[in-house]
Structure 1
Amino acid sequence: MDRLRDGDPRRIGPYRLEGRLGAGGMGEVFLGVSAGGRRVAVKVIRAEHLSRPEFRVRFAREVEAARKVGGFYTAQVVEADPEADEPWMATAYVPGPSLREAAPLDVAGVRALGVALAEGLAAIHACGLVHRDLKPGNVIMSRDGPRIIDFGIARAAEATALTSTGAVVGTYAFMSPEQVRADTAGPASDVFSLGCVLAFAATGRGPFDAAEVPGIVHRIVSAPPDLTGVPAELRPAIAACLAKEPQRRPSPGEAARLLAASPRGTGRRAVLAGGAAVGAAAVLGVPALLWWWPGDAGGEGATPLKTPRPVVLAGGPVATVRLAFTPDSATLVCAGAGQIWRWTVATGRGTAHELGGEGADQLTALSGDGRLLATLRGNGPIQLWDAATGSRRRTIMPEGRMFTKAFSADGRTLATVGANGIELWDTATGRRTGTFAPRSGGTFHLAFDATGERIAAVGSRGHVQIHDLRPGRDIENAVAGPVNVLFTFAPDGRTAATDVVDTTGRDAYTIRILDLRAGTPRRDLVGHEGTVQALAFSPDGRVLASAAGDGTIRLWETGTGDHFATLEWEKSDGTALAFSPDGRLLAAGAGSSNGRVRLWRFS
Structure 2
Amino acid sequence: MAAPVPKSVPLTCSGHTRPVVHLEFSDLQDDGTYTMLSSCKDGNPMLRDWLGDWIGTFLGHKGAVWSGRLSGGDASKAVTGSADFSAKVWDTYSGQCLHTFSHNHIVRATAIDSPGQRIITGGHEKKLRLFDLGNPEAEAQEFRASGGSLAHEGTIKSVVWGRGPQENTIISAGEDKVMRWWDLRTLGITHELKFSEPITSMERNIGALGELLSVTSGKDVLFLNAADGSVRRKHTLPQAPSSASLHPIRADRFVTGTVGDGWVRIYDAESGEQRELHKGHHGPAHCVSYSPDGQLAASGSEDGTIRLWQTFPGSPYGLWTS
Give, in angstroms, the shift of residue 524 of structure 1.
2.2
Contiguous gaps of at least 5 residues in structure 1: 1-273, 278-312, 316-350, 503-508
Match of 2:62 in 1: 400
Amino acid in structure 2 at the alignment position of 1:486: S
- Among 141, 147, 153, which residue is 1:476 paired with? 141
**1: CA distance between counterparts of 2:90 and 2:225?**
35
**1: CA distance between counterparts of 2:236 and 2:264?**
16
Match of 1:425 in 2: 90
> CA RMSD, aligned part only?
3.5
Kindly tell me: are residues 583 and 353 of structure 1, through their superposed partners in 2, closer, same or farther at Cα, counting changes over 3 Å?
A: closer
**2: CA distance between counterparts of 1:368 and 1:585?**
22
- Among 156, 167, 170, which residue is 1:493 paired with? 167
Contiguous gaps of at least 5 residues in structure 2: 28-33, 271-322
| Matched-pair contact (CA < 8 Å) for 1:366–1:407 | yes
TM-score if structure 2 supplies the norm length? 0.62
Give, in angstroms, the shift of residue 275 of structure 1.
8.8
| Matched-pair contact (CA < 8 Å) for 2:91–2:97 | yes
Q: Which secondary structure does the structure 1 equivalent of 2:19 belong to?
A: coil
**2: CA distance between counterparts of 1:450 and 1:590?**
27
Match of 2:200 in 1: 533
Give, in angstroms, the shift of residue 495 of structure 1.
1.3
The aligned runs of 1:344-359 (5 Å cut-off) are: 352-356=10-14, 358=16
Match of 2:48 in 1: 385
Q: Identical aligned pairs, as a percentage?
A: 15
Match of 2:309 in 1: none
Aligned length: 247
| Matched-pair contact (CA < 8 Å) for 1:415–1:424 | yes
Kindly tell me: are residues 588 and 494 of structure 1, through their superposed partners in 2, closer, same or farther at Cα, counting changes over 3 Å?
A: farther
Q: Which secondary structure does the structure 1 equivalent of 2:191 belong to?
A: strand
**Structure with more helix by fraction:** 1
Larger radius of gyration, structure 1 or 2?
1
Match of 1:104 in 2: none
CA-to-partner distance for each residue in 1:507-532, whole Å, 9 max, x for gaps? xx332222232222212224x44222
Kindly tell me: are residues 354 and 478 of structure 1, through their superposed partners in 2, closer, same or farther at Cα, counting changes over 3 Å?
A: same
Match of 2:189 in 1: 521
CA-to-partner distance for each residue in 1:68-94, whole Å, 9 max, x for gaps? xxxxxxxxxxxxxxxxxxxxxxxxxxx
Give, in angstroms, the shift of residue 398 of structure 1.
0.4
**2: CA distance between counterparts of 1:384 and 1:558?**
27
| Matched-pair contact (CA < 8 Å) for 2:161–2:171 | yes
Match of 1:589 in 2: 256
**1: CA distance between counterparts of 2:180 and 2:263?**
30
TM-score if structure 1 supplies the norm length? 0.36
**1: CA distance between counterparts of 2:162 and 2:215?**
13
**2: CA distance between counterparts of 1:586 and 1:455?**
31
The aligned runs of 1:171-570 (5 Å cut-off) are: 276-277=4-5, 314-315=7-8, 352-356=10-14, 358=16, 361-369=19-27, 370-374=34-38, 376=40, 378=42, 381-388=44-51, 390-410=52-72, 411-416=75-80, 417=82, 421-438=86-103, 440-472=104-136, 473=138, 475-480=140-145, 481-483=150-152, 484-491=156-163, 492-500=166-174, 509-526=177-194, 528-539=195-206, 543-549=212-218, 551-557=219-225, 561-569=229-237
Kindly tell me: are residues 461 and 571 of structure 1, through their superposed partners in 2, closer, same or farther at Cα, counting changes over 3 Å?
A: farther
Q: Which secondary structure does the structure 1 equivalent of 2:160 belong to?
A: strand
